[in-house]
């Protein structure tokens, strides 16, 4: 009896962000169902507590890096991912969190938290590409649903995605 070819594995990760780009993925409707039948979703912590250890064929990464723990986590995800796609303004440019790069982060912390001494963070919020090599960036806040479906469809078909020129693709 012929065995089915393995489906490419997909992982979806969140860093400092509002979840809006991940919601774009969940909001892809029929297109997502069609893709999901051809992909193996190995990790999607926002949607399921089942997280496989990888390696992953593709990791989609939302959010910017704002803590030492996140910096270590993205390096680990990179090491376990064949392709890493940064999705959205937070992941590709730091997002709204990066406004603190223009000010004193200790001052912000003191204004927001009653006990700022318990809150640890980096002085800046930086894009994923400041920490690890990124294969593709999807811009927007949130990302464009059609572009996301195009990227996943292209990866499944083994072709380069057809995206606007401002998207950065190392393929
Ligand atoms: Fe939310 Fe915009 Fe960041 Fe996406 S890019 S996670 S929509 S703030």
List, for residues 76-104, the tens digit of each pLDDT value.
Answer: 999 999 999 999 999 999 999 898 888 88
Q: ipTM greater than 0.85, yes or no?
A: yes
Which uninterrupted H or E stretch holds 9?
A: strand 9-14
Task: Compute, in angstroms, the gap from residue 149 CA to the centroid of ligand 1.
Answer: 17
Tell the burial category of 62 from Cβ atoms under 10 Å away from its Cβ (0-12, 13-18, 19+). Answer: buried
What is the pLDDT at residue 170? 44
Mutate-to-test residue for ligand 1 from 13, 15, 17, 93, highest number of ligand atoms within 8 A of CB: 17
pLDDT tops 70 at residue 165: no
- pTM of the model as a whole: 0.90
Q: Return the sign of the alpha-carbon dihedral for residues 156, 157, 161, 162.
A: negative
Calculate the CA 151 to chain-centre distance: 13
Nearest ligand 1 atom to the CA of 17 is: 6
Has domain 9-96+124-169 been given CATH number 3.40.50.700? Answer: yes
For the ranges 2-6, 92-96, 116-120, the one whose mean pLDDT is highest: 92-96
Which region holds residue 13: left if phi is over 0, alpha if psi is between -120 and 50, else beta?
A: beta
């Amino acid at each position: 009896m012929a065995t089915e070819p393995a489906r490419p594995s997909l992982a979806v990760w969140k860093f400092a962000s509002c979840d809006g780009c991940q919601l774009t993925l969940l909001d892809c409707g029929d297109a997502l169902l069609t893709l999901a039948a051809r992909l193996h979703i190995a990790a999607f912590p926002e949607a399921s507590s089942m997280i496989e250890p990888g390696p992953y064929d593709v990791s989609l990464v939302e959010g910017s890096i704002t803590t030492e723990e996140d910096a270590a986590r993205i390096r680990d995800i990179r090491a376990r991912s064949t392709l890493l796609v940064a999705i959205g303004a937070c992941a590709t440019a730091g997002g709204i969190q990066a406004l603190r790069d223009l000010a004193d982060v200790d001052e912000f912390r003191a204004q927001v938290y009653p006990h700022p001494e318990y809150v640890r963070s980096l002085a800046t919020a930086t894009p994923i590409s400041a920490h690890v090599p990124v294969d593709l960036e999807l811009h927007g806040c949130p990302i464009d649903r059609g572009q996301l479906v195009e990227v996943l469809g292209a990866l499944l078909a083994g072709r380069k995605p057809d995206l606007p020129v401002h998207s950065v693709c190392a393929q």
